[in-house]
Structure 1
Amino acid sequence: MIILVGTGHVFNLRSKIDQIIHEENPDVVCVELDEKRYHALLMQQRESHPRKNSSLPFIYRLLAKFQDTAAKWYGVHAGDEMLAALQSAKEMKIPVEFIDMDAQILFKEMLHSMPIKEKIRLLLSSVSSLFATKSMVEKELTKLQENYEQFLEEIGKKFPTIKNTLIDKRNVFMVERLQGLAERYSKIVAVVGDGHIPGMEKLLKSRNIEVEAIRLKDLIGNNDTGHTVTFKVTYTQP
């Protein structure tokens, strides 16, 4: 049995994640991280002014800044829910697995293969996001919840390289990691961005793997709802 837990990387979900892991008591806890991002998140948590890696693409750093700002609106740091899952697993002496692709390599490959027109659209979108308010973001999240499939379709049309790389490709990678782990563990809790849930759930079912999904809207209740397709892009020098 694989239990997919859909999160939003800017919401305060620490207590909900901890509750799920304690109630389910899985054989292993998996998170949508690679080891580099895990250590970067730890360093960011320890430092009041985390060091930024200026060698990373400008767009990469813009997206990271927006995600950090959005997280502060909810009184958290981007990625807190992943660290919460790992902390809960540690307290319960449950093994953990990082199931995502290398963020730095993947993002650079994506930009390398992205057509110039799509890069310009991404740059403009990234810059405009810096001026978004909390209410604007919440309004958009509500729209996404109402018609998530349409949202993915629009993303695919506007940013086909992003959808293929940051959503589809990662869905397949994480599902293959989970499939391998399912041969060793009977019960798995996997904490991933909520936007990955539909694709991952479909892939797992097509491989005849028992799966259950807990969505973001169920975790945050009626006050803040939405689906997120996210890729934590904050990275600091080790």
Structure 2
Amino acid sequence: MKDKLIRIDYNGKEIILIPTAHVSQESAELVKETIRKENPDSICIELDEQRYENLKNPDAWKNTNIIDIIKQKKVTLLIANLILSSYQKNIAKKLKTKPGQEMIEGIKASEEFGINLVLADRSIQTTFMRIWRKMGFFEKIKLFFSLMAMDEDEDVSEEDLQRLIERDNLELAIEDMGKDYPQIAATLLHERDKYLAYNIKNAPGKKVIAILGAAHTPGVEEEVFKKQDVDELNKVPPKSFMGKIVPWLIPILIVLLIAFGFKQNMDTGIEQIKSWFLFNSILAAIFTALCLPHPLSVITAFVAAPFTSINPMLACGWFAGLVEASLKKPTVEDVNNIADDIFNIKSWLHNKFLKALLVVILANLGSSIGTIIAGSKIIQSLF
């Protein structure tokens, strides 16, 4: 176990990196043993303030209000977070351990021995937003289906985890991830390596222990001796110029085409409006109905779709999802079962929390397809 430790001499400061697997009992034992033996001045852990609070109070997230999530337009980020955290919890359950146990050991040691605790990681919300803003549309679609395809029933042993902790295998895995999702690899791994390295080398004291997921230790070890711009790493990039303009171009174009249709003759204009309303409404309602929600959710999607499609500030799914969450309020049991239900699409239909999220996704998808078809019909009617 001890040979996994990485010792760095940085300007007279001794930095000890502990590579861990977040669901490994052996990693938790290694953390406990190393802290007791080394007696550091500071313990750095791979957490930000939000994840630190969640780890200290794991039941707090169960009070998540799905209605607030929809209103804040954070449905996609929530789903990605739920899938990843649920996958980790399921692996931990099979290994009869707790996710983040090695971080908990670091927190306990800091409290027990009065050691300075440093939350060394960047805000998870900043990381997610930087990933999202940098990814293209098709990359986002590919990522969503990749996450949904994760096999939570796959058997995982301690031996499997130890192979992941081996740095050569890990670097290869990171390299593969960079090929498929370059923006994710850059933001989730490499940027955070820089952020973690900056906070670790600036932690108080002459001896610092840093508890890190094994994926970060190669990068942090290298970054410690480099200069980092943490202000830049903390910025959420604004939407690109095209990202701001394109959502408005489509509805403006549709309105202009319909106006041009009326200019040609009244019948053409009326037919165009019919196409716009019918395709948007019917497809939004059909897609929403696929998850068997409350009938009023389907009706809401039907009514909202034609209007939200010409306003980039609104989305059909938000209204349908709010109605679903209000009429079929998620229970504590629904939230408790997320980790088990999220990898089975059939279970989404029985879990009120997940079903409300699914209503948002499907209603928006149906409305988007309706917009494309209606737009093409409007153009065809003119030419």
Pick aligned residue for 1:67 from 81, 88, 92:
88
Structure 2 residue aligned with 1:29:
43
> Which amino acid counterpart does residue 167 of structure 1 have in structure 2?
L
Distance across 2 between alignment mates of 1:27 and 1:85: 13
Shift of 1:113: 2.0
Structure 2 residue aligned with 1:192:
212
Query: Is 1:151 aligned with 2:173?
Result: yes
Alignment of 1:1-238 (within 5 A): 1-12=14-25, 13-44=27-58, 47=59, 50-52=62-64, 54=66, 55=69, 56=74, 57=77, 58-135=79-156, 142=163, 145=166, 147-181=169-203, 184-205=204-225
> Which amino acid counterpart does residue 35 of structure 1 have in structure 2?
E
TM-score (norm 1): 0.76
> Which amino acid counterpart does residue 5 of structure 1 have in structure 2?
I
Distance across 1 between alignment mates of 2:118 and 2:207: 13
TM-score (norm 2): 0.49
Asked if 2 retains the 8 angstrom alpha-carbon contact of 1:32 and 1:100, the reply is yes
Distance across 1 between alignment mates of 2:159 and 2:135: 29
Shift of 1:63: 1.2
Structure having the higher Rg:
2
Asked if 2 retains the 8 angstrom alpha-carbon contact of 1:14 and 1:80, the reply is yes
The answer for unaligned runs of 5 or more in structure 1 is 208-233
The answer for unaligned runs of 5 or more in structure 2 is 1-13, 228-338, 340-383
Taking a change above 3 Å as real, the CA distance of residues 137 and 94 of structure 1, as seen in their structure-2 partners, is: closer
Q: More helix per residue: 1 or 2?
A: 2
RMSD of equivalent CA atoms: 2.6
Asked if 2 retains the 8 angstrom alpha-carbon contact of 1:43 and 1:50, the reply is no
> What secondary structure is seen at the aligned counterpart in 2 of 1:5?
strand
Q: In the TM superposition, what whole-angstrom CA distance separates every residue of 1:152-184 from its partner, at most 9, and x where no partner exists?
A: 211111011111111110011111112222xx4
Shift of 1:130: 4.1
Aligned-pair identity (%)? 27
Taking a change above 3 Å as real, the CA distance of residues 80 and 52 of structure 1, as seen in their structure-2 partners, is: farther
